[in-house]
Amino acid sequence: MLNQSGEVTRLAVKDAIGFPALTLLASMIGFGSLVHESGLPFTVALAATAGIWGLPGQLTLVEVHAAGASAFFVILAVALANARFLPMVVSFVPLIRSSATRPGWMFVLVQMLSINSWAAGLRRFPTISPELRQRYYIVFASICMASGLLGTAIGFLGVGLLPRPIALGLIFLNPLFFAILLAGAQGRGASTALLIGAPLGVLFHLIAPDLDLLITGVVGGTLAFLVGQKRQGREKNHD
């Protein structure tokens, strides 16, 4: 159990500087390029990354704005796209909250939450003393957010340096990395869900492209749950 602040800080830096930071840097370069081509200003690009801090919501902002929707519908669409953060926050906040943490400060910490820091916390917190988990999270999340902002700036200002297909293709590094990260953090159940959901996603995209993600999540998640329950039943019978 790590109970020294210096050790926890070094561990957070080590975990963040690598695939999490590099993947965010690359994917946000693609996002910055997209914002530039959409005609939105540089300040909006940075504000979207820092304020929304979720690539699906950020892409929704650009796409819905480009479609000419009003501010109300832009905000509504972004909120729906980032609704996945709600269960993440509910499961994560108790792990970093302490009696000394002020409620207002928790809003700041929650804003920094991403699937990177969520998965890293679930993986590392069992080895970190409860009073130092917040330190690990802040260091890790700050590095990730700084990398995302840097990538956004590079993509927006250097949009002409990369061919458009390559710049926009960088965006897809993010969900690919998230899938691998989620499987590693959650173990066999998440791996099963990914193996089932990946082919179903292609199938449902061909059948109902407007609802493919929703249907894939419901059907794939349900099938993965049933497979997990059946596996647990077999293991109990063997015991």
pLDDT the model gives residue 234: 75
Whether residue 16 is found in the same domain as residue 130:
yes
Question: Residue holding tokens 């609802």?
Answer: 211
Parent domain of 236: 187-239
- For residues 227 and 139, membership in a common domain is answered with no
Residue 41 inside a domain? The answer is: yes
Instruction: Read off the tokens for 162.
Output: 């990369």
Q: What is the pLDDT of residues 94-111, one digit of tens each?
A: 999 876 678 788 889 999
**Residue 176 within any structural domain of the chain:** no
Note the pTM of the prediction, 2 decimals.
0.77
Let me know if 118 is exposed, middle or buried by CB neighbors in 10 A (0-12, 13-18, 19+): buried
Distances in Å between the Cα of 104 and the Cα atoms of 97, 108, 119, 235 are: 12, 7, 24, 46
Token duo for residue 28: 């946000």
Do 92 and 156 share a domain, yes or no? yes
pLDDT tens digits, one per residue of 9-38: 999 999 999 888 988 888 898 889 889 888
Mean pLDDT of 150-179: 74
Residues 199, 87: one domain?
Answer: no
CA 84, CA 81: separation in Å to the nearest integer?
7
**Is position 88 within any domain?**
yes
Contact 33, 155 (CB under 8 A): yes
Rounded to 5 degrees, what angle do the CA atoms 210, 69, 74 make?
Answer: 75
Question: Are the CB atoms for 191 and 211 separated by under 8 Å?
Answer: no
* Mean pLDDT score, 218-238: 80
70 DSSP assignment: -
Cα 97 to Cα 102: distance, rounded to the nearest angstrom: 9
Sign of the CA dihedral 206, 211, 214, 215?
negative
**% the chain with pLDDT above 70:** 85
Q: Which of 85, 79, 78 is nearest to 116 (CA)?
A: 85
Question: What confidence score (pLDDT) does residue 50 get?
Answer: 94
Q: Tell me, yes or no, whether 47 and 158 share the same domain.
A: yes
pLDDT above 80 for 171 = no
Contact (CB, 8 A) for 179 and 194 = yes
